[in-house]
Structure 1
Amino acid sequence: MKRNMIALGATLFVALIVWISCTERIDAGYEGIKVKLYGSDKGVQDVSLVTGRVWYNPITESIYEFPTYVQTVNYENFTVNAKDGSVFTVDPTLSLRVSNGSTPKIFIKYRKQIDEILGNTLVNHIKDVYRIEFNKYSTDSIISNREKFEAGVQAKMIAFLEQEGFILEQLTSGIQYPEAITQAINAKNAAIQKAQQAENELKVVEADAKKMIVQAEAEAKANELRQTTLSPLIIQQQFIEKWDGSTPLYGNSPVIFKELK
């Protein structure tokens, strides 16, 4: 009896090990695929496995998980030529995710994990998108039509990634102008700022000059008004108001009132 219990326990233990080794849990935020390792149909089944626990034969099949959440990849910068030969540096950053149900398609084409596909395999394709768009523009047209240029790159990137089974969420090109162009732009901006400063200073000088003219005109008009309004009686009145009542120590006494004729 005791031996039977031991045998039963061992059997259950082995069955548990087999059960664990024959199942795989696909977590939320991931899409799983079942890959056949042998036979003429080896590759990926034409199904996408949803989240949950999946049964499979570990001898003849494998389970792969692909994340379906948004991932951000900052690629190494590279150089590309404009239509007129100027060299631009591009430092792209892409935020993208696997399109729902596209995991089998991606695995059939690349047979790699998602990190390797995004980090290495797609790099040359991304560079080609930029090369094609840059070759449409001269240096000046890129600078003056930056928004249109970026829209063209994004449209091509969306189309390319969509056919590969990805959805582009955000794209940052990180374009750096050639050194000569950067220096020219900086010089132009400095000249504009200097001209603006000179214009502002001129406006201040003009304002001060106009203020002085207004003050001088007002003073002249006041003097003219005083000269036309002064009369002998007013002069005598002002003299009386300003006289302190003292007489000089020598000479004639002042005449307070002068006979008017």
Structure 2
Amino acid sequence: MNRQILTWAIAGLLILVFSVTAMTSCTRIDAGHEGILVKLYGTDKGVQDVSLVTGRVWYNPFTEEVYQFPTFVQTVDYAPFTVNAKDGSVFTVDPTISFRVMPGESPRIFSKYRKEIGLITETTLYNYTRDAFRIQFNKYSTDSIISNRQSFEDKVQLALGDALGKEGFDLEQMTSGLQYPDEIVKAVNLKNRAVQQALQVENELKVAEAQARKKIVEAEAEAKANELRQRTLTPLLIQQQFIEKWNGSTPLYGNSPTFFKNVQ
């Protein structure tokens, strides 16, 4: 009887161990991820040749471990850092990059860095980003960066894309968040203010000139009108206008009534 109970106990324990082992030796690779199987023991201790696709994966939890690498686009906003231009000016860069792991590259990435994607993003990719900016800044002077900012940023993105591509990452987008030195910002603001003031003065001069020309035209027109009136205002014309407006009474000029006053 005791032997039978012991047998059942051992069988139950084995079933329990098997169940626990079965539960811990199976995992599911989420959609948008690439699973890799890592051997924890042996001479190789590397990643097996074939990447695990999405779905349910069985493995030995005592000798193997499964990691998941996201293959969808990820965006990371790095902390700002400073970089020197060719002429020594200090610029601040606040970069943001969007990238993804190239399909099938997860085993090679993990085999090289032995880190999960989060740590690789915070360390390796960050260093590549800093180096891409540093190398391009060393080729440009302050004036050329300001005058050719778009071309400068395009070259940084191209260099960073090439560097990440060799590591198994695809760079989707990059924004530099480039901030100019304070003295450059002040100089640009002063220049813009001077240009605006010059335009304002020029506009005021144009208005004053227009008003002056208007007054000259009005004065010339008035002078010509007076001259014309003087030429046409003859004594006969004045007498005719007087008759047209006469109310029938005889005006008094001097001591006796006179119908017309000599206007000569």
Q: TM-score range by the shorter chain?
A: 0.7 to 0.9
User: TM-score, length-normalised on structure 2?
Assistant: 0.87
Is the Cα contact below 8 Å between 1:97 and 1:168 reproduced in 2? yes
Aligned pairs for 1:26-175 within 5 A: 26-175=29-178
SS of 1:225's partner is helix
Give me the CA root mean square deviation. 2.8
Matching residue's letter, 2:38: V
CA–CA distance in structure 2, aligned partners of residues 244 and 42 of structure 1: 130
- C-alpha contact 1:158 1:167 (8 A) present in aligned 2: yes
Aligned residue pairs, count: 258
Determine helix, strand or coil for the equivalent of 1:122. Answer: helix
Corresponding residue for residue 207 of structure 1? 210
Show the counterpart of 1:217: 220
Query: Is the alpha carbon distance of 1:249 and 1:160 closer, same or farther for their aligned partners in structure 2, counting shifts above 3 Å?
Result: same
1:40-70 deviation per Cα after TM superposition (whole angstroms, max 9, x unaligned) = 1211112221111111111111110111111
**Whole-Å separation in 2 of the counterparts to 1:106 and 1:50:** 16
Identity %: 65
Alpha carbons 1:247, 1:253 under 8 Å: kept: no
Uncovered stretches (5+) of structure 2, i.e. residues with no partner: none
Q: State how far apart, in whole Å, the 1-side matches of 2:63 and 2:180 are.
A: 54
1:194 aligned residue:
197
Can you give the 5+ residue segments of structure 1 that lack an aligned partner in the other structure? Answer: none
In 2, the alpha carbon distance for the partners of 1:242 and 1:76 equals 95
Quick check: 1:23 aligned with 2:6?
no
Matched residue of 1:44: which SS? Answer: coil
Provide the rounded CA distance (Å) in 2 between the counterparts of 1:124 and 1:164. Answer: 13
After superposing on structure 2, the runs of 4+ consecutive aligned residues of structure 1 that deviate more than 6 Å are 3-13
Measured at CA, do residues 203 and 250 of structure 1 come closer, stay the same or move farther in structure 2, by a change above 3 Å? closer
- The separation in 1 between residues aligned to 2:72 and 2:202, in whole angstroms, is 55
Question: Given the superposition, is the C-alpha separation of residues 258 and 46 from structure 1 closer, same or farther in structure 2, using an over 3 Å criterion?
Answer: same
